Amino acid sequence: MQKENTNQSVIQIENLSKSYPPDFKALNKINLEIKHGEIFALLGPNGAGKTTLISIICGISNPTSGRVLVNGKNIISDFRATRAIIGLVPQELTTDAFETVWDTVSFTRGLFGKSRNSAHIEKILRQLTLWDKKDDKIMTLSGGMKRRVLIAKALSHEPDILFLDEPTAGVDVELRKDMWEIVRGLQKTGVTIILTTHYIDEAEEMADRIGIINKGELILVEEKASLMKKLGKKQLALELQEKLKKVPKTLKKYKLELVNNGNCLIYTYDTKAKHTGITALLGELSEAGIKFKDLNTSKSSLEDIFVSLVKETT
């Protein structure tokens, strides 16, 4: 059934910090709101604090200071209400070995306070193409199948909020695409999804909003589209008919790059600028007698944005 989709925040993180002795700050005064029904991607390099943040919200770690509210309820004083609506797919393939797929998924449902519901478990297992493996012991499954089992476990108690910590790490392309489909399907039913990932294309493909975390600090939180628009740059590549030794002085103001052994000119321009300068550049190239046989434009990826932001804060 389609759940209500509002712009209300389901998770509020206020001044959240986590320190480890002697003086390592894994998280430093994080403030963040997650909206109902969105897919929020948390990007960051290794050790940035992504898993620590998720662990605190889910109850696996204790915060040093600050607070987290889930649906307006404190995750510590009202842990039963908050944890009951959260599902977590951990980064590591931490599964039982000797249990069957069916038993382990049913076990998780029970842990989260839900009575047995074979129809629901069957639905999830079929959705994740695990139905044929339901009686198999987990130790006999491949890595990709184990990842699916972890997702099935996280969905077993019908959570409203789903955390996916590096959900596609180490899985093949086909499975990755499948998972994206599953995540999109879940979003359609009103589930709020927070995913951490190393794969920028995953965030670019999936997320509504993106947060970038580095060294325990949230550097940026932005709608994906506006982030791409605001920080995204475009490049115009001109494939020349004749090789150039150097860029003529008259074109210096365009800050052109000569690449590919002088066979290609690259012009980088700002997409948010009113005048991109392309028309003027093409006119001046013609005046300078530089002819080109092909041209194409490319947008900077989220990866470029991410790398430049992380570099700035390092």
Partner 1 sequence: MNIEAVKAIYRFEMARARRTVFQSIVSPVISTALYFIVFGSAIGSRITEIEGISYGSFIVPGLIMLMVLTQSIANASFGIYFPKFTGTIYEILSAPISSFEIVLGYVGAAATKSLILGLIILATAHLFVPLEIQHPFWMLAFLVLTCITFSLFGFIIGVWADGFEKLQIIPLLVITPLVFLGGTFYSISMLPPFWQTVSFFNPVVYLVSGFRWSFFEMADVNVWLSLGMIGFFLALCMATIWWIFHTGYEIKD
Q: Does 88 bind partner 1 (CB under 8 A)?
A: yes
Task: Kindly write out the interface string for residues 146-185 of this chain, putting x where it contacts partner 1 by CB under 8 A and - elsewhere.
Answer: -------x--------------------------------
Instruction: Tell whether residue 65 is a contact of partner 1 (CB under 8 A).
Output: no
By beta-carbon proximity to partner 1, the closer residue of 106 and 127 is 106
Considering only 47, 72, 110, 143, the residue that binds partner 1 (CB under 8 A) is 110
Contacts of 184 (CB under 8 A, 6+ apart): 206
Stretch that binds partner 1, among 95-103, 119-127, 206-214, 292-300 (CB under 8 A): 95-103
Nearest CA-CA partner of 85 in 168, 192, 213? 192
SS3 62: coil
83 binds partner 1 (CB under 8 A): yes
Q: How far is CA 198 from CA 25, 45, 211, 225, 272, in A?
A: 21, 7, 13, 19, 27
Question: Quick one: 109 or 224, whose CB is closer to partner 1?
Answer: 109
Shortest approach of partner 1 to residue 154 CB, angstroms? Answer: 9
100 vs 263, beta carbon nearer partner 1: 100
Under rule CB under 8 A, residue 55 binds partner 1: yes
293 exposure class (CB count in 10 Å sphere: 0-12, 13-18, 19+): exposed
Is the distance from CB of 57 to CB of 68 less than 8 angstroms? yes
Strands 86-89 and 233-240, sheet pairing: unpaired
Q: Which is nearer to partner 1, 92 or 181 (CB)?
A: 92
CB distance 43 to 211 below 8 Å: yes
Rounded to a whole number of angstroms, the distance between the first and last alpha carbons of the chain is 46
Q: How many residues bind partner 1 (CB under 8 A)?
A: 36
The residues binding partner 1 (CB under 8 A) are: 18, 20, 55, 58-62, 79-84, 86, 88, 90, 92, 94-99, 103, 106-115, 153
